[in-house]
Amino acid sequence: MSNEVTTLRAEPRTETGTASARNLRRRGHLPAVVYGHGDETRPLVVDMHDFERLLARVHAATTVIALEVEGSKPQNVLIREIQRHPFRSEVLHVDFLHIREGQTIAVQIPVRLEGLAKGVELGGIMQQIRYEIEVECLPSEIPPEFTVDVTALDVGDSIHIGDIDAAGIVILDEADLTICTCVQPTVITVEEEEEEEEEEGLELEEGEVAEAAEGVDGADEEAEGGEAE
């Protein structure tokens, strides 16, 4: 499992702080930092358009990036964190982690389900529980994703992390954790409950009518008895 390296250019950033970052974004730039291996954290600035184009064609968490910082040799990095605006689709800041070939790192690998489960064809519902799996591996061996074939999955069957063929990569998550399962759909008997409520209401109304009728008959009997006296 090899991971293709892509390139991104950056420049050193001399000014820091909220106001400086806001001014950079207004000019189409993105504030960033790079850290790792005990090195001092370096403030950087990258072109916003270049970064958004990179995100559009690669998976951010698993793609090794050759970061070309002006005045320095290119260094391989991973995107560790992307800060976004809470209301707009706008990137505010990005953290890069410096990695070195020959040293393993922990990374979250996305999980993609493939195929139509046999249980779904029989009326079941496919539920995906986990969308990422944490692994430890060399930077050059980071898989872009884990593909899980669910074709043979019947109603009541599940696939667990231990079923993944990681091809020598160390999986850090527990093997018995569920990735996906095919479940029987839940049948909601709303109509039956409504009919039962209507029947109970009808019985109640009939009971009230009967009690009222008994009250009238009793009053008539008392009245007749009084006249006879």
Percent of the chain clearing pLDDT 70 (strictly above) = 80
* Neighbour count for residue 104 (Cβ, 10 Å): 14
Please state the pTM of the whole predicted model.
0.71
Are 52 and 110 found together in one domain? Answer: no
Between CA 177 and CA 33 the distance in angstroms is: 34
Mean pLDDT, rounded, of the chain: 84
Is 1 within a domain? no
| pLDDT digit string, tens, across residues 23-35 | 999 999 999 999 9
The pLDDT value recorded for residue 217 is 53
| pLDDT digit string, tens, across residues 55-101 | 998 888 899 999 999 878 889 999 999 999 888 888 999 999 999 88
Are 92 and 10 found together in one domain? Answer: yes
| pLDDT digit string, tens, across residues 171-214 | 999 999 999 999 998 876 555 556 666 666 555 555 554 555 55
The domain containing residue 172 runs over which residues? 106-183
Residue of 37, 27, 28 lying closest to 96 (CA atoms): 37
Average pLDDT over residues 102-107: 90
Is 81 within a domain? yes
DSSP state of 174: -
Q: Considering its fold, how many domains does the chain have in total?
A: 3
Are 10 and 86 found together in one domain? Answer: yes
